[in-house]
């Protein structure tokens, strides 16, 4: 019997199939190498599976997924920072290489710039510019208004540009 309140989100595997491509693209952008991207990707989806019972049928699965993704990315970098206190840290992005427009150096520099952003700006920026979410979705994910989400992205973008080698 149909019941108006009996709503379930799609099966997890369908969510996986629908979004794995964009999540992987994001992972490759946020990490330095393929191995890290694989680890992050797996981490995101395992965490998503565990939290899936708490996702209601509401159509905000994508925003929810990107929230998990940016969380896991932050935790990953936090762990790496702890490790780096013991081992030698990775060198800060190479300004000259970035200025020389080498794609790999540009990617590294962009990643470093994103990592230096405050948390909410980083999330908003990653969701909008790397994930392609709209401001409505970002507002849902960050629990703020779409206008505030837009402001976060703009400030983040200005900061990144300001720190870019000319």
Judged by the rule CB under 8 A, the positions of this chain that interact with other proteins are 1-3, 5-6, 8, 11-12, 20-21, 24-25, 27-29, 34, 37-38, 41-42, 45-46, 49-50, 52-54, 56-57, 101, 103, 106-107, 110, 129-130, 154, 157-158, 160-161
Cβ proximity to other proteins, 5 vs 143, nearer residue: 5
Q: Which residues contact 122 (CB under 8 A, 6 or more apart)?
A: 70, 74, 114, 115, 156
Residue 137 CB, shortest distance to other proteins, in Å, is 18
Nearer to other proteins among residue 3 and residue 82 (C-beta): 3
User: Least distance from C-beta 85 to other proteins, angstroms?
Assistant: 29
Asked whether the beta carbons of 65 and 48 are under 8 A apart, the reply is yes
Long-range contacts of 33-42 (CB under 8 A, 24+ apart): 36/76, 39/76, 40/72, 40/73, 40/76
Q: Of 33, 137, 159, 64, nearest to 72 (Cα)?
A: 64
Q: 84 or 165, CB closer to other proteins?
A: 165
* Least distance to other proteins, CB of residue 6, Å: 6
Residue among 22, 26, 21 at smallest CA distance from 126: 26
Q: How far is it, in rounded angstroms, from Cα 166 to Cα 155?
A: 19
Q: How far is the CB of 81 from other proteins (least distance, A)?
A: 23
| 42/75 with CB nearer other proteins | 42
Minimum distance of other proteins from residue 152's CB (angstroms): 13
Distance CA 127, CA 137 (A): 9
């Amino acid at each position: 019997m149909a019941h108006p309140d009996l709503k379930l989100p799609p099966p997890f595997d369908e969510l996986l199939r629908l979004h794995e491509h964009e999540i992987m693209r994001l992972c490759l952008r946020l990490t330095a190498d393929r191995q890290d991207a694989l680890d992050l990707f797996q981490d995101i989806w395992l965490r998503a599976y565990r939290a899936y019972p708490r996702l209601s049928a509401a159509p905000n699965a994508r925003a929810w997924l990107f929230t998990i993704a940016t969380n896991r990315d932050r935790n990953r970098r936090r762990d790496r920072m702890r490790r780096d206190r013991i081992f030698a840290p990775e060198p800060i992005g190479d300004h000259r290489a970035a200025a020389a427009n080498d794609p790999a150096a540009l990617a590294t520099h962009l990643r470093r710039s994103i990592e230096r952003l405050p948390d909410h700006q980083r999330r908003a920026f990653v969701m909008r510019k790397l994930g392609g979410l709209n401001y409505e979705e970002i507002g849902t994910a960050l629990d703020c208004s779409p206008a505030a989400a837009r402001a976060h992205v703009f400030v983040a973008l200005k900061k990144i540009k300001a720190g870019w080698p000319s």
